[in-house]
Amino acid sequence: MKGFFLTAALFLGLTGGAFAQTNVWNDYGVDRTWDIGFNYGASTITRPNGPEKFYQGSRTNVVPDFSIKLQYVVTPHWHLAFDLGWRTWESYGTWSNPYTYGTQLSPTEVKFQLGKPAITETFQLNYVIPYYSKYKVLNRANLYFGVSAGLVTTVSDGSQSFGKYNNRPDSSYRYVNGYNYGMGIGYSVGVQMGYTYYFLRKWGVNVELAARYVNMTASKENGLADAHGTTKYNMLFFPQTFGIRYRFR
């Protein structure tokens, strides 16, 4: 997955480098100021900070990341965007099991589900460096950097799941192998950078890297959520996406 994004970024950089940067804005009228995009990529999270360490997990994984973006061109150098994204947030840890029949049971893995999915509704303000075609009549590429802020909603039910040990000395022993936080709502702030190359007048491709900080409050769905303080947490997540763009030109 990392190689894919590096290849995509290199391709976009090489193709965009063929166009000279100018301050000309000939190709944008009042009816030519909207783009829509569909993105797919990967995202990872840090372990949630706030719950007791026992309920944070010790590792995370990389998951698919999807989003839809609507962009408004304010000026050649400033763009506003709304990004609706969704992905799964989970962390993993290992819990020890008790002695049974005088023997210590082996540790088992437990999954902590923060959100499945985690839905983000983000507004972006980006500073843009535009590139144009040879005769300065078409915006062929945009390199951008910006900031973002928005809301986050996580879908989860605060439940627990159980597994069966299936091994000696007590094959019938049941243990917690999954712990879900309650449904949550919070806010996010972050930064992003990206590059869009238009291979046709209306169609383009985009690569974007972002970092987001989120602060969440989850509902108290069960006794564990109350007793172990898992109702409030914060963390970072890092979307890396490649997408298609269509502009209303």
Sequential DSSP letters for 91-126: EEEEE---EETTEEPPPEEEEEEEEEEEEEEEEEEE
In this predicted structure, the answer to whether residue 20 has a pLDDT above a threshold of 60 is no
Res 164: pLDDT: 72
- Whether residue 243 is predicted with pLDDT greater than 90 in this model: the reply is yes
Which pTM does this prediction carry? 0.79
How would you label 161-172 residue by residue, b for 16+ Cβ within 10 Å and e otherwise? Answer: eeeebeeeebee
DSSP string, 53-65: GGGT-SEE--EEE
Share of residues in the chain with pLDDT > 70 (%):
76
What pLDDT digit, counting tens, does each position of 60-104 carry? 999 999 999 999 999 989 999 999 999 999 999 887 766 666 666
How does residue 1 score in pLDDT terms, banded at 50, 70 and 90?
Answer: low
* Inter-residue contact 86 to 67 (CB < 8 Å): yes
Residues 233-243 have a mean pLDDT of 96
Q: Give the mean pLDDT of the chain.
A: 82
pLDDT > 50? residue 153:
yes
Query: Does the pLDDT at position 245 exceed 80?
Result: yes
Coil/strand/helix, residue 212:
strand
